[in-house]
Structure 1
Amino acid sequence: PVTAKPASTPVKTTTKYVNVSSGTLNMRKSGSASAKIVTELTKGTKVTVYSESKGWAKIKANNKEGYVNTTYLSTKKPVTAKPASTPVKTTTKYVNVSSGTLNMRKSGSASAAIVTELTKGTKVTVYSESNGWAKIKANNKEGYVNTTYLFTTKPSSTPVVEPTVKEIKYVNVSSGTLNVRNKPTETASIIVKLAKGVEVTVLSESNGWSNIEVYGGEGYVSSQYLSTTKPNSKDEKPEPTPPIEENTLIKFVKVNDGSNLNMRSVASTSASIVAMLANNTAVTVYSESDGWAKVSANGKTGYVSSQYLVNTAAETPGNAPGTVIKNYTEYGLTIDKMVDLQMAVNAQTDKSYQTYIREDGIILTSSTKGTVNGSGWRVRGGAGPDNWVVGSVSNNQSLTIKSKVKGSDGYYWYEVDINKTWVNASPEDVKYHLNPDNFENDPVNSFQFVKLSQSANLNAAEVNSRILSGKGILEGQAATFMTAGDKYGVNDIYLISHALLETGKGTSPLATGVMVNGKTVYNMYGIGAYDGTAVSSGAQYAYNAGWFTPEAAIIGGAEFIAKGYISTGQDTLYKMRWNPAGASTYGYATHQYATDIGWAVKQVKQIYNLYSLLDSYNLKMDIPKYK
């Protein structure tokens, strides 16, 4: 007799529909925002859902299988709005790119598919503009383009005369490094970063960009950061202090209540006073000699009498007792899992590491020099593929060789200097900054757990004279910060500290004003200033937000921080940086204010010192706990 085969149990599935407000929904290879995109699904697409877990759904649609974010699936098919009978108001603009073409994309995203390329001078019909993108029609095609490259007047077609003789120039940036890009536009990819004083060969110059040759390769840099003379010459003043390291010695001012400690320009009681420091102010100590200490505090550097510095702070800052209430919040993740999630999104640091490249990734030009052999090479934090990736290097890039060692994989590895300011942080450094136990009992660093939804009731005159004096565009703006904090329920001390950090103490281009479409815009908190295109993207955000005065930027930026972070639960510096609740809910790193692992630590000393000016206060802290 024939035995019937047992019937296979069918997999239970449900039917849902794609429901996105605009653009398309990415179907990915696995349940991760960093996974490869399989296809893009339009609004209303019918999908078969096999399973849902941790915010991701395994689905089948259009005969393809993959994963999508469950947020954009609904049980009912979304209704497509009927076209309005009122004609859409449009404007006419023109494409103006310094070179090459402008990509028209399928949606308002730099990762969206390219519909066509538009040449300089192309006339376009603009339907709408939002978040730096314009919905347009050109050459009988519709799509989206970056608003930075659209202007109301048609660009001149007069050819630019390029220099025929190569010219030697030098990188001259006031701080940080200069980005070399693969195209003459701030949205282009960064090839390498150049330190101040690096010699380059200028091949041509056009529309504010210089085509240069450096380290054996070519690229483009903004011409304004090149000079014909090498910086740091005799007529230039040296930097007053080395950059502040996170682990630099911290001490505290100890004077009688109501008194101040004078910070002087040089180590002498007859020297001019640079600043007056209140009792319990935290200072960074660089050196101590003959009864004087070279210190920095509140953005200023000078000398103070060592006898008025102590190693430990009072239980609370300021001249009168304060109250500290600690609350602990548990998250369903281990600290090691949090580290893994941050490593997956390349958490950044300005710390220097020993970096290594495999022997076949470099061509030796001498015993101490070499050039990168091809594209796609990365350098690691140790000699072997099991070490984390610190950063990437480009083809023909020149590297200084420090040593040669046998790696864990049997290859030889060269220790090299990649000359980059920002790199991928090591797992150990990420874990140190993630672990609340390293900061909870520190009198200064514990301020990253202070809830930022409460006002500090500052004295505007005192803050202007002690903190904002000499701080560029932020000078005298204490009352504006207080207004912003009161209006949107954000701690005014935090707003001041954040602005001082993001604007380089009130001196950065975004803070002092950038011209966009003929109007000067300001951005005090670095909002929308994405890594790699900080000035252009931050300025475009400010333009779209209408921040045409410093005051508008201070107050408008506070609204962004309040609505995007403070009022949604990310109400401490720690939670703004790491978002443990988001990581616990979705299983990946999401909605983090910064990529720098030291972002929270770099702000707390200023916040602590601002609290030192108050007569009394109550502090509420929310400290994370991991499994």
Structure 2
Amino acid sequence: MTRLSVAVLVSSTVLSTIGPMQSYAATYEGTVNTSILNVRSSTSTTSTIVGKLTQGTTVHVYSTSNNWAEIDFQGQKRYVSSSYLTLKPTVAKTSTTQTYTANENVNMRSAMTTTAPIVTTIPKGATVTYVSTHGATGSWFKVTYGGKTGYVAQRYFTLSGGGTVTPQANATHTTVNNTSMHSSMISTAPVLVTIPKGASVTLVSTHGATGSWAKVTYAGKTGYVAMRNLQAIVTSAPTTLYVKTATSVFSSTSTTGQSLGTLAVGSSVRLVSTHGATGSWAKVTAGTLTGYVPMRNLSETVVAAPVTPYYAQRTATMYSSMSTSRTVVQSIPVGAKVDHLSTHGATGSWYMIRYANKTGYVAARDFSLTAPSTSTEQYGPEREVQVVSNNTPLNVRPTPSTINTAIGTLAHGTIVNVKPVLNTEWGILTSGSFVGGYIHLSYTAPVSTTPPTTGIQRVVSHTSYPISVRAMAERQVAQFGQTDAHRSAPAYLPRAWVSVSGNTGTIVNNQLRVISGVGTALKMSASSTAVTIATIPNGTNIEYVDRQVVGTAVWYRVKYGSMTGFVTPSSVVGAVNILSQPSLTSHAYGQINPGETVTITGQTGTYYTVSYRRPAGHNIRIFDNVWRRASVTDLEPFVNPNNFDQNSQAFYQFLDLSKSAGTTAATLNRVLTNSGTLTNQGQAFINAANQYSINEIYLLAHAVHETGHGKSLLAQGVPVDKDGNALINSSGTRIHPDREVAATVYNMYGIQAVDSSPLATGAKFAFDQKWFTPEAAIVGGAYWIGASYINHPTHKQNTLYKMRFNPANPGVHQYATDIGWATKQTTRIYQTYQTLDSYTLHFDVPKFQ
């Protein structure tokens, strides 16, 4: 073969290993992204291992095919799994003479954002080679240094020949809105001409301490415009980028904008322009989509599409597109391992897969993450079911698959006997006119809910809702969900909103907004018993003056119209947002109140990075290092039922909690070993379940989660006074020593223990309910949960998922603020069920548009 023919080889043919490869040209450069990668003699996991590569090693890649990469290893062609290589095209090096000198130690990053990984640190005085300029104001340079290429902030560099680094002179920019050209660098200077939005101007130079003014030429005139009104036209950036993190395409440079579609990992896009002061947004086109995506989700290097192995649970058909009426590509046998490439359809009902060197579409229900235990059908105990198909006849199939033509139908409401086909959602009919035929059990419901005497059964039903998954996530954002997924991510605070002394910053923006649904009382003095001057309506803006601390309680002194008085911190939030990116349009992790102090951890342009813990008594909208406001992107994976495999523990969030598990106190007590005041309370959970029609295993899991295995203060018992006020604080220290202990109360489910003050509110509610023993709290709390959620005649929130997200009325009457609350309950439920020998699992799964 010639050098050229090997360089361009991209077919599925796998070349044999022959001779030294020094004479061949590589198509890609690959970097090992796993700790140890085996190098093999051929494209098979059974072939000889001829060596190993460690993480970070770079190799030359000649071609890729069927998840294998052909590489140069010790002068010979060898093979490795391409899933463990990060690939980028081999590009011929070009020389450049423009160099810059670092004014101080500078981090080179992998992308145009200060949150991107650091490639290397460039020492003060070092010389770098300039590649290109990026960002709306030219605030980022792409450079090479020490054999590495990445992005640096331009403000830290000086031209090697002297002078200040500025955005490229004579570069063409466009206006992002109608803007005035002034005769000098002041907004009150005479206007020479008004430049329309989208017009092209030539940048002459930048001015001001922060480069906030640009001298430009337009229509024969030269003058000054605000730099924020200009957008650089990208000429030197790569025209093709690759998606490294699955992302939505937005209608604007904000994650709160409309989602136009989604991009899968590994797909390519064409870069149109960059936006934001630091180039943190990219305008791209992908197929018919044109919109904006965060730059952090894109890469200049080729990103391998994720491949997940799935197994055929039954004989399946691969089609050329997402329709059973399309061309049949091939038949896939039971147990075959395939590469899952992507999921499609409004309900994720189709998979795009690769099998036997062919790519096509298959019905998702025919595949699972786990291999079938056997190719021979196995059945569960016979049971009686009723067809529930929304008045549409249910097809009876000759095999447990939709591939074959139906042999008949069953009308809605028909009662038949079936045996479930294990590891599937199908049942074989054992009564009626179609004995031996198969029906899909998701369209049936049990006639009797009495637990079987032997065996384990699973019944999955679906409830449809007239809303999309995206709309569900957006409703949850409006309700303010919290997540701890970003606890390590930087949080940004505009410098203009904080006064700094050393590494401590004080919020100086004095605006507050009332967020109490019924309004908040403006008190004459800092006391709950003080005279109420006025009730300030919900949503009203008021002015912060200062604060007063009374004992451990904090009060804000505020101005409301002509009146001055005091309000509680829990009833208001400040106007200052703590942001996820150094941009005012980025997602806000939460707000912060006037007068609060934060720790300054760094600086990016006109933003500080900060650390702050939300004080007790503040509303959950207030920012916290750990618990931050969730975005639509954070929420979508949790609200989409298609993300949870039926064999996973997380699927138990769809368990019908109104049906008993049929277990014993002895079994529950084994689970409750070393669980504080919950130890040996198994019978209490069973009594509660029987009395209020609630699944006893759910009650146990809920209590264990809320009380930290029975060891929280609310579980250990909280002393209260005659009015039910807690006489200990959140650290367990006795407070109000002048008050007599009237009772000790328990709260095992965290009921009414609101985020701003869980101990005080949880104890007060327990006192009002007379929960003076652990058993009383277990049984009494079960009544409250059942009456308020699971068995409520209107809300009917009979699953953990419904309790958290309430799909029938999203954002209303929801049990928790943690977006992961439902799945966090499931591990103990699942584990407890594994100790039982006989039970029926009833699942109610949402189905969205």
TM-score by length of structure 1 reads 0.46
Structure showing greater radius of gyration is 2
- Which structure would you say has the larger RCO, counting Cα contacts within 8 Å and 6 or more residues apart? 1
Instruction: From the two aligned structures, give the one with the greater strand fraction.
Output: 2
TM-score by length of structure 2 reads 0.34
Instruction: From the two aligned structures, give the one with the greater helix fraction.
Output: 1
